[in-house]
Amino acid sequence: MDTKPLIAITGASSGIGEAVARAFSDAGHPLLLMARRLDRLEALALPRAVLRQVDVRDRAALASAVSDAEAQHGPVDLMFANAGIARLGDIASQPPEEWDEMIDINTKGVMNSVHAVLNGMIGRRQGTLVMMSSIAGRKVYPDHTVYCGTKFFVHAVSESLRGYLAPHNVRVVVVSPGIVDTEVLDHVNDPRTLENYRTNKAAIGGGISADIVAGLILDAYALPQRAIVQEIVVTPTQQTY
């Protein structure tokens, strides 16, 4: 019998998603871990974790994964809509297919994640949605044009959802980190953008650990349900942009 509620995480195979999975596992929660790379989920070897190979663009696959996990561990009490991709680059030369990928994963994927648990949380008058945004959802950068657009979307949707869900006792928390040590650069195909990012990162002494972000999410969740941290903004101390 589980004594703590089920935590669902998309994009759980690396970076902040992986760190959040480890943090909540260490805190005694059963997990639903979803990602496109099932082998990476299996390598985490976390106890009481339901693992599903899910592309967040597939609404039916998300819903099925949630249903399977809830049958084993009870209702999802937190959905971390974390899966995302950063195809940074010069907007004039960037292939539009990269725009499509970011829009589909970073906006539609987030909404699919919300949809999979929303009505259950409303019905139970209990739950927390954690929405992965970025400092790029609060500021704009020349080589982040479409990426910034997707993260501003997350901010707008989260604010609207927060107002809608407050009477139902459901919380919406936005996470807006600055530079974090993750695999984000693996998806950048523009050499100049990649070089600029690495130079800027080095100039501030590097990014912060994903574990720092995970700890803040865990702390926000641990508050009584009647209290909410509306947004977590965390950056390296020297990051002023």
Which string of DSSP letters, residue by residue, matches 123-179? HHT--EEEEE--GGGTS--GGGHHHHHHHHHHHHHHHHHHHHHGGGT-EEEEEEE-S
Q: Which DSSP helix (H) or strand (E) runs through 41?
A: helix 38-44
141 is catalytic: no
- Alpha-helix residue ranges (DSSP H) falling in 48-95: 59-73
Closest among 37, 55, 23 to 183, alpha carbons compared:
37
Instruction: Say if CB 52 and CB 152 are below 8 A apart.
Output: no
Element (H, E) at 22: helix 15-26
**How far apart (Å, rounded) are the C-alpha atoms in residues 73 and 200?**
44
- Structural element, H or E, at residue 32: strand 31-35
Instruction: Answer for the pair 141, 148: CB distance below 8 angstroms, yes or no.
Output: yes
Catalytic residue (choose from 141, 147, 221, 241):
147
- Residues noted as catalytic: 147
